[in-house]
Structure 1
Amino acid sequence: MRKERDTVDTRADGQDWLTDRFEEHRPQLRAVAYRMLGSVSEAEDAVQDAWLRLNRADTSEVENLGAWLTTVVARVCLNALRSREHRREDPLEVRVPDPIISSEDGADPERQAVLADSVGLAMLVVLETLTPAERLAFVLHDMFAVPFEEIAPMIERSPAAARQLASRARRRVQGQAPSPDPDLGRQRDVVNAFLAAARDGDFDALVSVLHPDVVLRSDGGTARARQTVLISGARAVAAQAVTFGRLSPFARPALVNGAAGIVVVAQERPISVMAFTVAGGQVAAVDVLSDPDRLNALDLTVLDD
């Protein structure tokens, strides 16, 4: 009887150890999954799937549990992306990924972990245009320093081919997702100038605060398909931005994926989330989510006073 109880206790200790190790790696796993999928809920599902697989697997020969778990999550995300592509779930021209909202006082620890090495919404929008294999190669190598020798088996390619995929993705990201100004104060000043010009209907002031090649992407979802637009050029974006002026009384400053942005809330309902990419003292990109279904799923309690 004593021997049986010792066996049970040992197994319990082993499970506790496994749980503790998994929780240590959870922040990075969530960060990998969010960058791969652009969806907070799907990222959580992928991490949970990794936990279930860990419980079923024999990891006695695993030397690096963190690397093993990262590989599992990456494979789960790759399958999800391929399934999404096959089903063509997103027929709209623009898809703005799920934003992560934080108060300007600072992100809470969980959100900060997901945003390690801050990944702006504009970059995630560009990642949405990559093939699943390109996205995996770029995210794992460029963001998490996973060697191409480890990436290659996941996508059934050679290390050289994986390197080429990451390089192709990198060129697209660098060409379409400008590097934001690292100073949050300067970001906020530019965003405030944009909002003031929109509120006053000052077209010239709007043009001056916008980069000549600025891009405005707005995702209204299937419920608001007419609000799903892609506009480029300072004058074209300024003409569209004038309509934002009527929303200014409801605009609340926030961090959107770690950068200066706003959340428009009216009658306690979120109307839109606006993420700004500020570079060189001008707005280089504006990404707007106005899909009511996805907005209602956001956790905005972090903005409560």
Structure 2
Amino acid sequence: MPLTTTDVERFEAARPRLESIAYRMLGSSAEAEDLVQETYLRWQAADIGRIEVPDAWLTKVLTNLCLNHLTSARVRRETYIGQWLPEPLLEGDPMLGPAETAEQRESVSYAVLTLMERLTPNERAVYVLKEAFAYGHREIAEILDISEASSQQVFSRAKKHVAGGKARTEVDEVAAKRIVEEFLAAATSGQTEPLVKLLSSDALAIGDGGGRVPAKATPFHGALAVAKFLRGLFKPAESKRRMLGGAAPEVYATTANGSPALVIVVEGRVFGIMCLEHGERGIVAVRSQVNPDKLHRATEIWASTRRGEPLALNGW
């Protein structure tokens, strides 16, 4: 039976929430959109008159599609070239979802999304539904076809696995811009000392090029090693200009997944996003996404954003 206008409107009202759930579970906006569209096709084929609670039905269908996808994704990522990082979302992207509570903001932070790679598919589902969307364990148990006690146990395990992602401190827009500006000034100074002062002693730097853009295959650990890497990364060179097609990059300060971030733009396209995880001891992690396959949505969002003036990039 064809969907009525009311049926379509009901699904579209749920779409933003469904996309946000899927993004948190998968770390990819494109995959999230695909699975939400598959959920719509299931909705279209269902006997909607017999569905008592449409939102619960849609969440259950989407979550199980995500679980199946995550199982196959683990196999694909074994052959991924270099380090795998989730897709960052820029400030204002509706797919980031609810951000009223500290738990909701933390659950979509870039650090936590990265750490969620340690979780089993079920642990991801329970963590996202409980922490970000405040589902009760009884509701989660019905969605995943497990007992309420099992849901509680799985959530406890998931929380322990992502506990390391709590190192960051929350910053507002003004503080985020200041952190980015200080970082960029230090990174383009040509010296390691200014960077070392901004970094925690156990700082980490990691990048994802997906085999499409050069990125170091192994992370850098420790303030001095990270500082030396960043000094070289921001040093102008003819090879870098050729990689950018001869165009001069523009660097902007913003936030991505709630953390301070540098956005590198080349001729209107987002070339890279560098997320700075900031804690009480300084910058504890620098995670860079330069895989073009994971920056399409960022480019679209950037095109419709009031961006302000680019930051000074010495030597470029």
SS at match of 1:91: coil
**Mapping 1:88-103, distance limit 5 Å:** 88=77, 91-92=80-81, 94-102=83-91
Q: Which residue of 2 aligns with 1:17?
A: 6
Equivalent residues of 1:212, 1:234 under 8 A apart? yes
Q: Which residue of 2 aligns with 1:133?
A: 122
Structure 1 residue 296, shift from structure 2 partner: 5.2
- Report the CA distance shift for 1:83/1:57 in structure 2 as closer, same or farther (over 3 A): same
Q: Which residue of 2 aligns with 1:162?
A: 151
Q: Which residue of 2 aligns with 1:301?
A: 303
Q: Which residue of 1 aligns with 2:241?
A: none
- Report the CA distance shift for 1:25/1:226 in structure 2 as closer, same or farther (over 3 A): closer
Equivalent residues of 2:208, 2:215 under 8 A apart? no
**Mapping 1:268-279, distance limit 5 Å:** 268-279=268-279
**Mapping 1:5-84, distance limit 5 Å:** 15-84=4-73
Which of 85, 98, 102 pairs up with 1:116? 98
Equivalent residues of 1:181, 1:187 under 8 A apart? no
Q: Deviations over 1:184-229 (max 9, x none)?
A: 2222212211111111023222111112232222111123465343
Which amino acid is the alignment partner of residue 183 of structure 1? D
Which of 190, 200, 204 pairs up with 1:211? 200
Which amino acid is the alignment partner of residue 264 of structure 2? V
Give the percent of matched residue pairs that are identical in Structure 1 and Structure 2.
33
Query: Is 1:195 matched with 2:184?
Result: yes
Structure 2 unaligned regions, length at least 5: 100-104, 237-247, 308-316
SS at match of 2:185: helix
Query: Is 1:171 matched with 2:160?
Result: yes
Q: Distance in 1 between matches of 2:131 and 2:296?
A: 33
SS at match of 2:277: strand
Q: Calculate the TM-score normalised by the size of structure 2.
A: 0.80
Q: Calculate the TM-score normalised by the size of structure 1.
A: 0.83
Which amino acid is the alignment partner of residue 116 of structure 1? P
Q: Distance in 2 between matches of 1:47 and 1:249?
A: 35
Deviation larger for 159-168 or 147-156: 147-156
SS at match of 2:255: strand
Structure 1 residue 279, shift from structure 2 partner: 2.4
Cα RMSD (Å): 2.6
Structure 1 residue 303, shift from structure 2 partner: 4.8
Q: Distance in 2 between matches of 1:87 and 1:158?
A: 31
Which amino acid is the alignment partner of residue 301 of structure 1? A
Q: Number of matched residues?
A: 287
Flag the structure with higher helix content: 1
